[in-house]
Structure 1
Amino acid sequence: MNTDKLRTVQDWVSFYRHEFGLPVAERGGFVMLPVTGKVGVLHLPVARAEMVRDALRQQRRSGPMLARQIRWSFLVEPDSRPGEQILTALNRLDIGIPAIGSAVMLPTGLGRWTREGCHWVVPPARELQLPPLSMLVTTALAVGNMSED
């Protein structure tokens, strides 16, 4: 599909649904991806997110990554919810896991500059499987420990 012809938020909703199979909806004039039992999100500060991206590349794994000014959002498969100890460690590191029922805004453009102030580092793709949340949490904690050594 030629993304240059996508003009409206509804065009982008259709694009994300048909091209990538994402359960997006228009809300308040924006494309919103709800956090569900099948699609989750992990928010990371930029420096740690870049290290996670690099670690995933070394493992030949990847998943959709959305960049904002102060954090990146990784789309994940919510395979399990971390326990209290892990959640406390994640909170200390400013790593967030939005709850089911919340939503993340997606860009209405595939370039670097969008009206939403975010862009895809790795855009979604039908053949690109979402990485398990547990793997990303483990990687996010590990890369931080490696950089502190």
Structure 2
Amino acid sequence: MNADKLRTVQDWVSFYRHEFGLPVAERGGFVMLPVTGAVGVLHLPVARAEKVRSALHQQRRTGPMLARQIRWSLLTEPDSHPGAQVMEVLNRLDIGIPAIGSAVMLPTGLGRWTREGCHWVVPPAEDRQLPPLSMLITTALAVGTGGED
């Protein structure tokens, strides 16, 4: 499927489903990725997210990453859920883990400027596995941002 020929939200839903195996759906005129037991999301402030991306690249473990103005969203395999103490630290650092049943809006374009106000920093790929949530949390806590830690 050629992304340049995709015009409608339904075209993009089909694209994400068939090309990347993501369980997306159209909701309210947007492509939405539900958070499930198989696909999760980790939201990070931009400065920390850029360091996480660099660390993951060095480890050759990058996964799909969406950029928004104030945060990036990393798609993940929810292999575990952090305990209460870790969640307190994550909350203090403005790192979020959306609950099962919530959803994340995906862009209807592969370029930087989309109507959704987000773009893929690292787009999904058919052969790329989602990184485990536990590894992303460990990496996010290890990299710091240089200003708040």
Q: Which TM-score band applies after superposition, normalised by the shorter structure?
A: over 0.9
Deviation at 1:14, TM superposition (A): 0.2
Aligned residues: 148
Match of 2:75 in 1: 75
The separation in 1 between residues aligned to 2:77 and 2:24, in whole angstroms, is: 16
CA apart distance, 1:4: 1.4
What's the offset of the Cα at 1:126? 1.3
Q: Distance in 1 between matches of 2:43 and 2:117?
A: 16
Q: CA deviation at 1:39?
A: 0.1
Runs of 4+ in structure 1 off by over 2 angstroms are none
SS at match of 2:144: helix
2:66 aligned partner: 66
Give 1:33-112 correspondences, 5 Å limit.
33-112=33-112
Q: Does residue 141 of structure 2 align to residue 141 of structure 1? A: yes
Once the two structures are aligned, what percentage of the paired residues are identical?
86
Corresponding letter in the other structure for 1:43:
H
1:86 corresponds to which letter in structure 2? V
Using structure 2 for the length normalisation, give the TM-score.
Answer: 0.97
* SS, match of residue 4 in structure 2: helix
- Which residue identity lines up with residue 85 of structure 1 in the other structure? Q
Which residue is 1:28 aligned to? Answer: 28
| Aligned-partner Cα distance in 2 for 1:4–1:131 | 28
Q: How far apart, CA to CA, are the structure 1 residues paired with 2:127 and 2:19?
A: 10
Partners of 2:118 and 2:94 lie apart in 1 by: 19
Shift of 1:20: 0.3
Superimposed CA distance per residue, residues 22-45 of structure 1 (whole angstroms, 9 cap, x where no aligned partner): 000000000000000000000000
* 1:118 Cα deviation from its structure 2 partner: 0.2
Normalised TM-score (structure 1): 0.97
Q: Which residue of 1 is the match for residue 121 of structure 2?
A: 121
1:86-117 deviation per Cα after TM superposition (whole angstroms, max 9, x unaligned): 00000000000000000000000000000000
Distance 2:115 2:128 in 1: 25
State the AA in 2 paired with 1:94: D
SS at match of 1:31: strand
Cα RMSD after superposing both structures = 1.1
- Specify the SS of the correspondent of 2:128: coil
Distance 1:67 1:128 in 2: 19
